[in-house]
Structure 1
Amino acid sequence: MGHPQVHAGPLRIGVVGAGTMGRGIAQLFAQAGHAVLCFDENRDSAAQGLAAVLSTLESLVAKGRLAPDALESIRGRAAICANLADLAECDVVIDAIVEDIAVKRDLFARLEGIVTESCILATNTSSLIVAEIASACRRPERVAGLHFFNPVPRMRVAEVIAAVRTAASAVAALRAIVEGAGHKAVVVADQPGFLVNHAGRGLYTEGLRLVEERVASPSEVDDVLRDGLGFRMGPFELLDLTGLDVSSKVMTSIYDQFQEEPRFRPSSLVPPRVAAGLYGRKTGEGWYRYDKGQKIEPARKSAPSVPSGLSVWVDPDAPESDALAGIVRKAGARLRLQAAGTDICLIQPIGEDATSAALRLGLDPTRCVAVDPITPLNRRRTMMLTVTTAPEVRDGTRALLASDDVPVTVIGDSVGFIAQRVIATIVNIAANIAQRGIAEVEDLEAAVCIGLGYPFGPLHWGDRIGAGRILQILNGQLRATGDPRYRPSQWIARRAALGVSLLTPEAQR
């Protein structure tokens, strides 16, 4: 019995399920030159699905993004079929049906009795274990995951999931088919969340943790991560977009499937909001309120004017002391060389709360404010108060930092600022993915950038900040909270100790 494989050139690809994902997959492969057969138990749904695909392609022709003759060619090789048996001659069949393990297992058992011995069977599951679906088949080596993202034609990445018994030839064939259609194919082990959803846990869970601790509000967390670090959307904007009812299930599922790994622990803030129906955009209210689908921006305080005669000391050993001193000087305040007797003392701790840093430096906590050195100071500035920072010190510092119209976010005391904590958590989870071999480093970096829209791959981002600093932030959190959620991956610890890039793979054995 041969290994599953497909021939070079145009293929016959079957798509089972004519919902949003099935339509997108059909469009992708039809545009790539393959013959596509669409099947749905509801024949009207299949017909509507194909009509929707052709309508989308017609709009591309109207915009000059698809040649008219290409559309006619697609019309000739894309069709619906009335019976599952009509997929018998397909080289690949992709399931895009409901996320129900029993339904998928039944489908794959039926397909195996229909298709040829060389046909590859793929599932577009986003959360189910591929090996469990494959166990319904006589030949599980021909079964793999092929997880696309919505909208399929525009989200140019797909995860090829190798289950425990999936043949290497099936993985190689699917990777070639996906890349031939112009998407990046990343090979992933059959683990909870696969790669993209797994890597994305840090943004959500640490964002929620910051709000739990009353360090910042949802909008303040989003502002810092979006404006300061370049995320397309902050975690709470994303939760509202995807729907908290859906996202909460994913968070719980990944936590449970990873044997209650603390790094993925869901937040207790979520269930009451789900119970109240605060799902996000689709219900008109989530972490934000919406009017006709548009977010209503929360009110933001205007910055006070800079008091005259203000004296400021900037910690000379801080990471961005020169840049911070320049802002203070430009705002018209007097820089002092000694902290004693100064109105405001500015510090820039990494992996440490403002109160602890002030005491360590022998400063008066009532006159201390910490400023984040990780977030670029020309994009958004985050200032952290100690437990006892005086109101006039808070207002004076905010006035100084906002004097050149760069937005300022004021947060409560925290071991690590918003940016530090979120980035360190993202890097730590990605490092653990690499350490466990769930995906190769190159695939990990590419999938996160394309699938999640992060400005950098997580390990590359860790290098930009510095592995030592990432380790410092995680260890600071671990010491302060005792929460194993923050225990650093050995991937980070070893590379920080060696002074090498976090992108450095393990030595070959």
Structure 2
Amino acid sequence: MSEIRSIGVIGLGAMGAGIAQLAVEAGYDTIGREVSVDLGEAAAGRIGGFLTRKVEKGKLEQADRDAAVARLRVTDDLSDLAGCDLVVEAIVEALEPKQELFAELERLCRPDAILATNTSALSVTEIAAATTRPERVVGMHFFNPAPLMPLVEVVQAELTSPETVDAAAAVGEKLGKVVVRCFDTPGFVVNRVLIPLLNDCIRVLDEARVTPEALDAAMRNGAGWPMGPCTLVDLVGIDVHVHASEALYEKLREPRMAPPPRIVAMKNAGLLGRKSGRGFYSYD
């Protein structure tokens, strides 16, 4: 397997832009694809701004910042990623659009290119089934925000080759991440444990009649959590948490996986956490 030298990232929202930032900082030539040039350029501007702040904080040299920015190119044309050694998908968390994208990527990319999905709760095996080369498909689940969270789960689907897993893990390590390899199972490692636990915490809000502030304080000071569950769900995004919970419940039918009614109602009301300015807490 040839060395990974170039990376494509599809979808430059918060997660995709974070992955692209990691790639250019690690020295990879990177192409980011968005649905429009304007959205792509806006994402590139945000990445440049984050790197500038690292310079201001003394965490990055100006010359290194400029070199990283120069390694990023944005496009709205999927075929521009045809020459990439690794393509990481970070689009909407829904199976059908991901399968359609992977089928198209297989047509466009080199036969030896690795295709990775950043899905947090969907089956990598089902995504890979949309291709005729499932041995080249792997999960690379980064955590949000990708530049700050140290973990990446490298997920081996049913037919992923060991060489593909090794290559994806090597990229993760070069990006400065702690790499945990696992097999394809609902929720992988972290979300399989964390999502039902967070759902339990949310249910306790009503059952124990405590405030979000009190619950967060209890879990920080009694369980040693670095961040309270309500603060964490607000950070992740209430809509994201509900979607992941529903996906896990659909696969496993375990009651603890199902999102509690309280948080579903919040999502339906547009209370999505930090990104909407209000969730369990209010944000300026």
Q: Does the 8 A contact of 1:6 with 1:119 survive in 2? A: no
SS in structure 2 of the partner of residue 193 of structure 1 = coil
Task: Please tell me the root mean square deviation across aligned C-alpha atoms, in Å.
Answer: 2.4
In our comparison, the structure showing a higher alpha carbon Rg is 1
Alignment of 1:166-177 (within 5 A): 166-177=160-171
Match of 2:204 in 1: 210
Cα distance, 1:200–1:114 mapped onto 2, change above 3 Å: same
Give 1:153 deviation, angstroms. Answer: 1.0
Aligned equivalents of 2:277, 2:50: Cα separation in 1: 28
1:5-34: CA deviation from partner (whole Å, max 9, x where unpaired):
332xx6111111222212111110111111
Aligned to 2:39: 45
The residue aligned with 1:261 is 254
Taking the aligned partners of 2:110 and 2:271, their CA distance within structure 1 comes to 48
Partner of 1:74: 68
Separation in 2, partners of 1:81, 1:162:
29
CA distance in 2, matches of 1:96, 1:286: 24
Change over 3 Å in CA distance of 1:215–1:86 after alignment to 2: closer
1:373-428 C-alpha deviation (Å, 9 max, x unpaired): xxxxxxxxxxxxxxxxxxxxxxxxxxxxxxxxxxxxxxxxxxxxxxxxxxxxxxxx
Matches within 5 A, 1:165-244: 165-214=159-208, 216-244=210-238
1:328 corresponds to which residue?
A: none
Matched, 1:164 2:158: yes
Cα distance between partner residues in 1 of 2:78 and 2:128: 18
* Cα contact 1:6–1:173 (8 A) shared by 2: no
Go from structure 1 to structure 2 and tell me whether the alpha carbon gap of 1:264 and 1:96 turns closer, same or farther (over 3 Å shift).
Answer: closer
TM-superposed CA distance for 1:53, in Å, is 1.4
TM-score in terms of structure 2 length? 0.89
Change (3 A) 1:227 1:88: same
Deviations 1:152-182 (A, max 9, x none): 1111111111111111110111001110121
Give the aligned residue type for 1:250: A
Picking from 71, 91, 102, the partner of 1:97 is 91
Letter in 2 for 1:59: R
After superposition, residues 326-475 of structure 1 pair within 5 angstroms as none
Distance in 2 of aligned mates of 1:285 and 1:48: 24
Deviation at 1:36, TM superposition (A): 0.8
Matched positions, count: 284
Please say if 1:12 is aligned against 2:29. Answer: no
Q: Which residue of 2 aligns with 1:34?
A: 28
Query: Do the aligned partners of residues 150 and 239 (structure 1) sit closer, same or farther apart at CA in structure 2, a change above 3 Å counting?
Result: closer
Matched, 1:113 2:107: yes
1:123 aligns with 2:117: yes
Cα separation, partners in 2 of 1:176 and 1:221, compared to 1, 3 Å: same
SS for the counterpart of 1:200 is: helix
Q: 1:227 to 1:93 in 2, by over 3 A?
A: same
3-state secondary structure, aligned to 2:108:
coil
For residues 212 and 164 of structure 1, do their structure 2 counterparts lie closer, same or farther at Cα, with a shift above 3 Å needed? same
Secondary structure of residue in 1 paired with 2:149: coil
Q: Point out where structure 2 has 5 or more consecutive residues left out of the alignment.
A: none
Pair 27,218 (structure 1): closer, same or farther in 2 beyond 3 Å:
closer
CA distance in 2, matches of 1:38, 1:273: 33
Q: By percentage of residues, which structure has more helix?
A: 2
Q: Distance in 2 between matches of 1:238 and 1:68?
A: 33
